Amino acid sequence: MAPPLTLKSGRVHVVEIPVTETHSHGSGDISRLKSVILEVTTEDGITGWGEASPWPVFTGTPEANASALADYFIPNVLGRSAYDVEVFMAEADRAVVHCSEAKAALETALLDIIGKAQGVPIHNLLGGCHRDRVGLSFSIANPDFDADFGKVERLIELGLGIFKLKTGFKDHAFDLMRLEKLRNRYGDRLDLRIDYNQGLKAHVALPRLRDFESFGLSFIEQPVARDNLEAMAHFTRTLTTPIMADESVFNPREALVGARLKVADIFSLKIMKSSGLRRALEVAAIAKAAGIGVYGGCMFETGIAHAAGAHLMAALPELDLGCEFYMSNYYLTEDILAEPFPVKNGFVEVPTAPGLGVDVDRAKLKKYTLTSQ
């Protein structure tokens, strides 16, 4: 008979961690990481960790997600069993609109508890492990491209071979120049892709996107606003380079609409968009049925959310384009994990220890915490 795993307490920590450089995007700049860390503890002393990592211009604010957790989700689950994950997620959807990151944090913490109690990693709770490592993509987003070019050289020495250029935050010539320099220096050794983060206006987009066709890109991500599905579908039909939808596809419902309209060749999966790992698997299932590929995206995250994302990547039946869980190792000045997030020779290694398979360093957590409740 399974233990009750009765939930006794929960705490919410808003953290702010410095980053190594500014990263620019078509929808705004990032010069720090501000995230929400959730810890939930059972009466037996098992602690589960989760993370809500929103971006205000994309999904929501840290403050709103912290409130959703502290004022609504935690009070609702205390005194109840961690095994009621799906019950809690349904109740969270009815209690609070949006705040998909807070819902992902809650689900992750509960799965972390269950995995630790049963002695299995989270991906085993999701159906098993299709792969034990995933190719890692790094995002080239520094307005100072000379600095980024040097970082690319260093990362290649560490085994990375996938690079995504953030585009649209300067002029078109700057975007073309960066790709030309990388292709001239490294040829086809690098897997290159670009991401506009909704940065283009639809009426000027197509000629600019056509300029990238000769670079042999793996995909062009979210060139226009998330709700301009007609333009996304037009680009998908017209261009040779695959189009990837990120902001246009958050959840299973949007995945269904996106599949029907064929708004993209690829969907970017993010547990922060979909409200957790299980909903992300539903998005992936819809994509698979429609012949649409999937990719492992992320927000601005610590190693806690990266670990959850790695378990999602392991559980996916099909995954060809890698993931971008680089921030804890190559963007934050310091992570809050006790040991570095597992990356080796350009690949994320899926954690195999029970639960998330990573431990939080409480001293580092305290160092970067702004508020706790």
Q: How confident is the model at residue 26 (pLDDT cuts 50, 70, 90)?
A: confident
Residue 196 sits in the same domain as residue 90: no
Cβ(106)–Cβ(89) below 8 Å? yes
pLDDT, position 2: 61
Tell me whether residue 354 is in a domain.
no
Query: Which segments of 13-84 does DSSP mark as H helices, in order?
Result: 62-67, 74-77
Residue with tokens 């680089």: 326
CATH classification at residue 239: 3.20.20.120
Residue 240 sits in the same domain as residue 186: yes
pLDDT, position 309: 98
**How many whole angstroms separate alpha carbon 61 and alpha carbon 64?**
5
Residue 344 sits in the same domain as residue 196: yes
Which structural domain range is residue 16 located in? 7-120+361-372
Residue 114 sits in the same domain as residue 219: no
Tell me whether residue 147 is in a domain.
yes
**Length of the chain in residues, anyone?**
373
Residue 111 sits in the same domain as residue 142: no
Q: How confident is the model at residue 1 (pLDDT cuts 50, 70, 90)?
A: low
**How many whole angstroms separate alpha carbon 99 and alpha carbon 55?**
11
Residue 245 sits in the same domain as residue 318: yes
214, amino acid identity: S
Residue 62 sits in the same domain as residue 195: no
Tell me whether residue 221 is in a domain.
yes
Give the pLDDT confidence of 59-80 residue by residue, as tens digits.
889 999 999 999 999 999 999 9
The set of residues, in sequence order, having a beta carbon less than 8 Å from that of 286 and lying 6+ positions away, is 252, 255, 256, 259
pLDDT, position 3: 62
Q: Of all residues in the chain, what percent carry a pLDDT higher than 90?
A: 94
**How many whole angstroms separate alpha carbon 199 and alpha carbon 225?**
7
Residue 301 sits in the same domain as residue 365: no
Give the pLDDT confidence of 332-366 residue by residue, as tens digits.
999 999 999 999 999 999 999 999 999 999 999 99
pTM (2 d.p.): 0.97
Tell me whether residue 98 is in a domain.
yes
Tell me whether residue 355 is in a domain.
no
Residue 161 sits in the same domain as residue 52: no
Edge to edge, the sheet with strand 343-344 lists 133-135, 347-349, 343-344
The number of domains in the chain is 2
CATH classification at residue 26: 3.30.390.10
Beta bridge partners of 37: 13, 51
Residue 211 tokens read as 């300029």
Please compute Rg for the chain using Cα positions: 20
Residue 223 sits in the same domain as residue 368: no
Alpha-carbon distances of 41 from 45, 46, 372, rounded to whole Å: 6, 5, 15
Residue 94 sits in the same domain as residue 219: no
**How many whole angstroms separate alpha carbon 147 and alpha carbon 131?**
34
Predicted confidence (pLDDT) at residue 226 exceeds the cutoff of 70: yes
Give the pLDDT confidence of 275-317 residue by residue, as tens digits.
999 999 999 999 999 999 999 999 999 999 999 999 999 999 9
The least confident of 15-24, 214-223, 306-315, 350-359 is 15-24
Cβ(8)–Cβ(75) below 8 Å? no
Q: What is the mean pLDDT of the chain?
A: 96
Q: Decide the pairing of beta strands 162-166 and 191-195.
A: parallel
Average pLDDT of the residues in 239-245: 98
Give the pLDDT confidence of 160-194 residue by residue, as tens digits.
999 999 999 999 999 999 999 999 999 999 999 99
Tell me whether residue 1 is in a domain.
no
Tell me whether residue 14 is in a domain.
yes
Give the pLDDT confidence of 256-281 residue by residue, as tens digits.
999 999 999 999 999 999 999 999 99
Beta bridge partners of 137: 162
Q: Of all residues in the chain, what percent carry a pLDDT higher than 70?
A: 99
Predicted confidence (pLDDT) at residue 33 exceeds the cutoff of 70: yes
Residue 145 sits in the same domain as residue 290: yes
**How many whole angstroms separate alpha carbon 183 and alpha carbon 217?**
11
